[in-house]
Chain A
Amino acid sequence: MNFSKRAFLYILRKKWITLGLFLLNFTVAVFLVSSFGVLNASKMLSKDIRTSLGAAFYIRAKTEISLNGSGETEVIKSGVNIAQSSIDEIMKIGEIACYNPVNYGFAKSDGIRFIPGEGHSPESDMGAVTALRFSALAPDFADKTIELTSGDHITGSDRGKILVSEQLASLNHLSVGDFVTLTHAKLGETDGEYVDEIPVKTAFVKVKVAGIYRLNAEDTAPKPTAGLAENVIYASIDVLNELKESEAGIYTGEVGFFIADPSELDEIIRQVESLKSIDWLAHFIRANDFQYSQIADDMIALGGLTKTLLVCVSAVGAAALVLILTLCVRGRMHEAGILLAAGISKREILAQFLLEALFLTVLALIFSHVVSLGVSGLLERGLFGETPELLSAKALNSGTDRGGYMKLGGEKILLIYLCQTVAVAASTILSSVAIMRLKPKEILSEMS
């Protein structure tokens, strides 16, 4: 009788031991896959939260405050001057989701009357223009000072699009989809009067109203027409270029960089500050990861706790499996003695024990795989089902894929199964070897 037939008979006839070993393997496999699933989920969720919070850093102009000769304070602000080539260099560092350069200017239009401000005149009938790539990332939109009520935000690929305030839209009967023509302007002051320093108009651009926003904060301070928040036009970055108020590829407002993972912010900034293409005497970096800083410690602690739990579960499961397998094999010394006395070689006896253990392990892994999918689904719904809807800088472009936190990749599952199979094989071999090292007579002596 060969070893495979003996193994088959053992599995078939020793029902309780077979069932016990099957259930043990099954339980350990389900525990391991579920535990690694939870670890995976905690990592993914942590990343999702970090991504949702996001972080940003801004390159801004340095401002110096000094006293002039007459003893008055004087604010000296060096202009931002960042070239597209510097931005391209920065974008190669780390995982930066997007950048948002800003240019500032003014615009007039025959089709738009602006909300009158202090010292309003036909000459000063103009609005401030904030040209950028992503209007949603403008600080006022991000902190909900203003809110888009209809239409869409301006995004990186948009050309010739603007957002106007509800007040400005209402005054000029503008709706989303309407077109207006803008021309260049520059607010100046002559003899106490606000004037347009560009009296002769040579640059025009036809733009489409892409969205209308609402002002959530009221500012009653007296300001010229171009200084009123209601008159601010958010425009795609090309608009001021067309109006010759900015140069393509050169950014004179601030430049914001948005990164998906706040934990990488410090390293990215460190690398950006080492770039020589930016004049750091005139510029500085301001980091913004306030929300992340608030929860970072909790997230790290949670991650550590999950890992500790996983290590404990894996260790206890593996130890139980190895211990019980060892006891099972040691309990078969009598059988090994009989087989040895019958002239069956040690190698064949080991092969029989190994075949039985591996057969039960593989069978358990197949069943556990099906059950693990269900358990993972239940755990995911139970643990992560109520995660709030999150918004991220990344989501502005492509949206965030959520769910499937506990789903492990095929390679990881195979690795877990392989480790379990190797542990079973190793403990079977080691405990068998302990028996096989004895002489047949010694085994038979221990039997009687």
Chain B
Amino acid sequence: MSVLEARNVSYSYDGKREILKNISVKFETGKTYAILGPSGCGKTTLLSLLGGLDSPTDGQILFNGEDIAKKGLAFHRKNNVAFIFQNYNLIDYMTPAENVALTSKLPPLPILERLGITKEEAKRNVLKLSGGQQQRVAIARALASESRVILADEPTGNLDEDTAEEIAGVLKESAGRMNKCVIIVTHSGELAKRADEVFWLKRGGIYRGEG
């Protein structure tokens, strides 16, 4: 059974330019999905709708078969999904450990260590870490939350090739081990190769591709 589903979803800005046209797509736990497409095709918009950052103009987003609008988008964001952004989006006055503790009641150090952040690094100011380390903290924050779905928007977009490769591996491996559903929006073909399933977004429609 799908954990997250977009059913007949359409989205337009100001009711004029329709970005997404009657899209239907399902996502399951334990799998990694990549959504590819040219710039401006609506990848990030779809991710925002799946994550409850915005509401579709038409159609529904279902979590475990229930419309997320019923319990409220804030509830969906808090309990069902976690985000990883291209620019990490960490709270700059918190340490890595505190950033992870922001959305989780679990002790942050074990998961940070599992992702390669040492105890010392976990207590430093988060901005003193490298880009790769900051993205590891962002991944740790997403994994530590009780959310079953992780939504990642260009998670390796700001990283060099080697680090991007490393981060992609960490994300897939950890999410798989924790039986989470990972949905990655990316331009990167390399990252898409690691996904279990790939979707293409073109001219407002979504098409299944090869993993």
User: Interface on A for B, CB 8 Å cutoff?
Assistant: 1, 6, 9-10, 13-14, 334-335, 337-346, 439-441, 444, 447-448
Contacts and interface: CB of A to CB of B under 8 A. Distances in A.
A448 B47 CA distance: 15
Given A341-B77, A343-B77, A441-B54, A448 B86 contact: yes
13 contacts: A9-B93, A10-B93, A14-B93, A337-B89, A338-B89, A340-B53, A340-B74, A341-B89, A342-B77, A342-B103, A343-B74, A344-B78, A447-B89
Interface residues of B, number: 31
A6 B95 CA distance: 12
Contact of A338 (B51, B73, B90): B90
Contacts of A444: 48, 53, 85
A343 B79 contact: yes
Nearest to B125: A13
A187 B211 CA distance: 135
B199 interface: no
Given A334-B89, A440-B77, 17 more contacts: A6-B102, A9-B94, A337-B89, A339-B91, A340-B74, A341-B53, A341-B77, A342-B82, A342-B102, A342-B103, A343-B79, A345-B78, A440-B52, A440-B53, A440-B54, A447-B87, A447-B89
A9 to B, nearest CB: 6
Interface in B97-114: 98, 101-103
B83 interface: yes
Contact of A439 (B53, B75, B86): B53
Nearest to B73: A440
B17 to A, nearest CB: 15
B74 A345 contact: yes
Contacts of B93: 9-10, 13-14
Nearest to A347: B74
A118 B39 CA distance: 124
Nearest to B76: A343
Given A1-B98, A441-B48, A444-B53, A340 B91 contact: no
A343 B77 CA distance: 4
A340 B51 CA distance: 11
- Shortest 3 CB-CB distances between A and B: which pairs? A343-B78, A13-B93, A343-B77
Nearest to B82: A342
A10 B93 CA distance: 6
B54 A340 contact: no
Nearest to A17: B93
A444 B54 CA distance: 11
Contact of A1 (B86, B92, B101): B101
A440 B85 CA distance: 14
Contacts of A343: 74-79, 103
